[in-house]
Structure 1
Amino acid sequence: MINWQVVMPAVFTWLKESESGALEIDFDITQKQAAAILNTQGKGGSRMGGIVASGTLGENSYLSNEQRISLLKSLSEVAREYNVPLISGAAAETKEELAKIIEGLATVGVDTVMVMPPKTKEVPSDEEMYAYYELAAATAKVAGVTIMPYNNPDAAGYHALSTDLLIRLAALPEVTALKISTIDVSIIETLMLENKDLKILAGVDSVTVYAGLAGACGGITGVGTIFPKASITMQEYVLKGEWAEANKISQAMNSISYLDAQPLLMEYLKFAMGIHHNDTDGGLRTLGKKLTQEQIDDVRARYVLAKERLEVLDLI
């Protein structure tokens, strides 16, 4: 049984140039970065509770299925070494396509699949959406994994899951948690009022403390992949209800947490990770959008400000 009262890093997929000049996955660096994050302790002695791989920050939208499977197989070795669950995202246009993806993910060590709403132009009805997740749950049961419905109403291109639908989905035996990525934490509060036993993970770094106040038991973090000690310690305070201390850390990271809610969050935060590890070239290698000099300068300034504030709190 997975412990969801934790924070989990959404790890980056590091890339390198092949002999032909094309970008390919650097499995060695990706593994080492994931291991370093899992090896970090918060001030209270706890650690990250899992690995979220091949998600938005992991270049998921740009990887081929073969690349995605190879990446997850590689990171499953790290997850086993640190005895934590491996979580991966999945999105498809049809429920049948989604079922095949879940079956494939189960073969390479994924424990839980974060299931995005169907990638369709037209908004599905709640019944169509439920059938999509219902087949995902049935497939997961056979494959021996669990699923986590992922509601990201703030992101362009993703259909929002209604509160009523989320409550129905949470009742499926194979659904062990919900991921709610929105700055509107009232959604979390509404869900918890309906069912106080729900396990909800927050997905936007800038509202981690507010999500905890609303009832979220944990979170999936992008900024915490860069500053893991700070992210873990903040979650320790949230779980103890020490809101003032948690808020100090949240405020210290505000400048960079802001980037987690932007359309180019992967490109922004990956570059910040490159700055953090003195590998700016690596941080700029992406299959996504190329950053302008103005964007590069902005990310650098935000990273420096967050680092200075966290150093004062002894959280680097």
Structure 2
Amino acid sequence: MQHKNRLQGILKVQGKGGSRMSGLVGSGTLGENSYLSTKQRLSLLKSLSEVAKEYNVPLISGASAKTKEELVKIIEGLATVGVDTVMVMPPKTKIVPSEKEMYEYYALSEATAKDVDVKIMPYNNPDAAGYHALSTDLLLRLSVMPKVSALKISTIDVSIIETLMLENKDLKILAGVDTVTVHAGLAGACGGITGVGCIFPKASITMQEYVLNGEWAKANKISQALNSLSYLDAQPLLMEYLKLAMGIHQNDVVGGLRTFGKKLTQHQIDDVNARYMLAKKRLEVLDLIS
């Protein structure tokens, strides 16, 4: 019940331009998702789907597998609990797949999505250890598949986004790293999937409103205010860090430190707290604390 209340609180928040979050991501591909059993994960997502329906936003989750067959089972399972869109990571294999193998992996995921009536979002995260990068040629081929809703590009190198947009100006691309929201918008991204936005939703939504309106100076001012915390979104322990920051924000530090993942050291805890306090102080000046 507590996580539902917090999600409802986030989805209620409006930016200064009146818009709200347009989607809900639950159990993405990185972070604690790796530690949950299939039963735990599907139970969580079923609960989240009720909140997503209440606020009329799509529920998005992640899928990562070693084989095409395993991927099919994951997508089918996610569809049974109300997931609308599946972010599909490249195969988790030690050997780099060929372009042909990579295409077949995604083609089967798209065909499965069609069968179970969900959409997919190819997820390119070249900066994450253990995940193979998708070439721009492959991303362009995947983007035209009927069940592909958008491409998620998680990297600080936004030139990848610009390269894709130069080939197809109608592409829908979502940025996946909070530190580059403004730069990704300049390169052509139409939005982003945010972690910091769960802590400071009014600031995150308002920044995206400014990006979409081309008000770059205003957007950049918010980006700079968030930067101390946004930095954590690009770190290997992003889930543990941002969960703690959320706990600090909600006056629930104990809950913020509760994790199936790696336990944070006192030095890391102190660093997250200092970063949170700095961002909060800056956002209060801008009247962006919800």
TM-score range, shorter chain: over 0.9
- Which residue of 1 is the match for residue 171 of structure 2? 198
Q: For 1:221, what is the secondary structure of its paired residue?
A: coil
What is the alpha-carbon distance in structure 2 between the residues aligned to residue 121 and residue 32 of structure 1?
40
What is the alpha-carbon distance in structure 2 between the residues aligned to residue 180 and residue 57 of structure 1?
14
The superposition leaves residues 67-97 of structure 1 with CA deviations (integer Å, 9 ceiling, x where unpaired) of 0100000000000000110000001100111
CA contact (8 A) 1:238 1:246 kept: yes
CA contact (8 A) 1:151 1:161 kept: yes
What is the alpha-carbon distance in structure 1 between the residues aligned to residue 138 and residue 31 of structure 2?
28
The superposition leaves residues 112-160 of structure 1 with CA deviations (integer Å, 9 ceiling, x where unpaired) of 0000000111110111000000000000001000100000000111111
Summarize the alignment of residues 1-316 of structure 1 with structure 2, pairs less than 5 Å apart: 28-56=1-29, 59-316=32-289
Q: Structure 2-normalised TM-score?
A: 0.99
In the TM superposition, what is the alpha-carbon distance from 1:59 to its structure 2 partner? Answer: 1.5
Moved more, 56-65 or 86-95: 56-65
In the TM superposition, what is the alpha-carbon distance from 1:57 to its structure 2 partner? Answer: 6.3
Residue type matched to 2:256 in 1? Answer: G
The superposition leaves residues 192-226 of structure 1 with CA deviations (integer Å, 9 ceiling, x where unpaired) of 00100100000000000000000000000000000
Gaps of 5+ in 2: none
What is the alpha-carbon distance in structure 1 between the residues aligned to residue 128 and residue 80 of structure 2?
30
The superposition leaves residues 20-55 of structure 1 with CA deviations (integer Å, 9 ceiling, x where unpaired) of xxxxxxxx1221111111010101111000100001
Change over 3 Å in CA distance of 1:140–1:56 after alignment to 2: closer
Aligned residues: 289
Q: For 1:229, what is the secondary structure of its paired residue?
A: helix
What is the alpha-carbon distance in structure 2 between the residues aligned to residue 84 and residue 184 of structure 1?
29
CA contact (8 A) 2:31 2:261 kept: no
Q: For 2:16, what is the secondary structure of its paired residue?
A: coil
What is the alpha-carbon distance in structure 2 between the residues aligned to residue 205 and residue 290 of structure 1?
23
CA contact (8 A) 2:59 2:85 kept: yes
Q: Structure 1-normalised TM-score?
A: 0.90
What is the alpha-carbon distance in structure 1 between the residues aligned to residue 138 and residue 23 of structure 2?
27
What is the alpha-carbon distance in structure 1 between the residues aligned to residue 238 and residue 54 of structure 2?
29
Gaps of 5+ in 1: 1-27
Q: Which runs of 4+ in 1 moved over 3 A?
A: none
Identity rate, percent: 81
RMSD between aligned alpha carbons? 0.8
